[in-house]
Amino acid sequence: MKFTWPNGARAAVAVTFDVDAESAILAVDKRFAARASTMSHQAYGPKVGVPRLLGVLERAGVHATFFVPGFTARRYPDTVRRIVAAGHEVGWHNDLHEPPYSLEEAEERAILERGAEVLEPLTGGRPRGFRAPWWELNERTPRLLVEAGFAYDSSLMDDDVPYRLQTDAGTLIELPVHWSLDDWEQYAFLPEPDIGAQIELPSKVLELWTGELDAMRDEGCLLVPTMHPFLSGRPSRAKMLGEFLARVRERGDVWVARAGEIAAHADATLAPGDVRRLDLPDV
């Protein structure tokens, strides 16, 4: 097995949501703010998707992790309060969904430091986790995350178990993700901007994710399904998530926990010297 999980579990699952709301579209072009239907497609996430998904999680007895941009927290503070009240974790997802590669260092640092400032009044604690918009870290983001007090990131794809990332400022736990476990590639459709053109069957996604779950149980991996309430909050998709979580429970050997708990377990399990560094091609 690639990793040791609590109580002899064969795999771990961190159920995660990125509560982008309008920010993912406005980060492309702020002029979309004037397009009421496009904005309403995004507002569905915090208004309808999150409450429905909270019900699915409650019925499944699962605590999840919600990565929230500052924009969403300011515009929908009650949505964030409901997430926290239901026992879920809240992490930072930049302010207006800015991809780190588009930012200068000072700007990126300021946005990461804003995470605690914006979220703490709503959640009662500093965010421990970070997920980069579009999962695009840059070379310095891990160091800036350590400097801003984050304990873990969940944006890289070069493994399927947690690992410790060494930076010049200290270490960070990485909880790797993958596009095959992201609802965006299955369900994202808008005429403009081009966020994707897929409306796949939830049954297909259930099959895809169940296959990944069982193969990961063979090897001791970490599964990080990543969903967006404006997509997976639709009725048939939320229902599929409930069915997927029932399958996870039926297996009887999978540890389901908040990303922060999995990061803390990894931090306690990995030897302190067991570190990796970001290794980007020098071209």
Kindly state the smallest distance separating residue 159's Cβ from Zn ion, in Å.
21
Residue 78 burial (CB count, 10 A): 11
Find the Cα–Cα–Cα–Cα dihedral 148, 152, 158, 161, rounded to 10°: 170
What residue type is 146 in one-letter code? V
Nearer to Zn ion, 95 or 221 (CB): 95
Is 18 one of the binding residues for Zn ion (CB under 5 A)?
yes
Per CB under 5 A, the segment of 14-22, 160-168, 251-259, 273-281 that binds Zn ion is 14-22
Lookup: tokens for 243: 């069915």
Nearer to Zn ion, 70 or 133 (CB): 133
With contact defined as beta carbons under 8 Å apart, do 109 and 144 qualify? yes
With contact defined as beta carbons under 8 Å apart, do 184 and 205 qualify? no
Kindly state the smallest distance separating residue 21's Cβ from Zn ion, in Å.
9
Kindly state the smallest distance separating residue 98's Cβ from Zn ion, in Å.
10
Site string for Zn ion, 133-152 (x = CB under 5 A): x-------------------
Nearer to Zn ion, 18 or 95 (CB): 18
Per CB under 5 A, the segment of 16-24, 29-37, 58-66, 113-121 that binds Zn ion is 16-24
With contact defined as beta carbons under 8 Å apart, do 245 and 35 qualify? no
Site string for Zn ion, 116-135 (x = CB under 5 A): -----------------x--
Residue 113: name the closest of 139, 144, 134 by CA. 144
Kindly state the smallest distance separating residue 275's Cβ from Zn ion, in Å.
28
Kindly state the smallest distance separating residue 24's Cβ from Zn ion, in Å.
5
Q: Are strands 254-256 and 11-13 parallel, antiparallel or unpaired?
A: parallel
Kindly state the smallest distance separating residue 222's Cβ from Zn ion, in Å.
20
Give CA–CA dist 232/178, Å, rounded.
17
Nearer to Zn ion, 100 or 133 (CB): 133
Give CA–CA dist 174/191, Å, rounded.
34
Residue 166: name the closest of 266, 276, 279 by CA. 276
By CB under 5 A, name the one of 20, 89, 98, 183 that touches Zn ion. 20
Residue 16: name the closest of 82, 83, 105 by CA. 83
Nearer to Zn ion, 76 or 255 (CB): 76
Nearer to Zn ion, 18 or 212 (CB): 18
Is 89 one of the binding residues for Zn ion (CB under 5 A)?
no
| Residue in the shown chain whose Cβ atom is closest to Zn ion | 18
Q: Are strands 16-18 and 65-68 parallel, antiparallel or unpaired?
A: parallel
213 phi-psi bin (left φ>0, alpha ψ -120 to 50, beta other): alpha
Paired residues of 91 in beta bridges: 67
Kindly state the smallest distance separating residue 97's Cβ from Zn ion, in Å.
6
Nearer to Zn ion, 32 or 251 (CB): 32
Kindly state the smallest distance separating residue 132's Cβ from Zn ion, in Å.
9
Site residues (vs Zn ion, CB under 5 A): 18, 20, 133
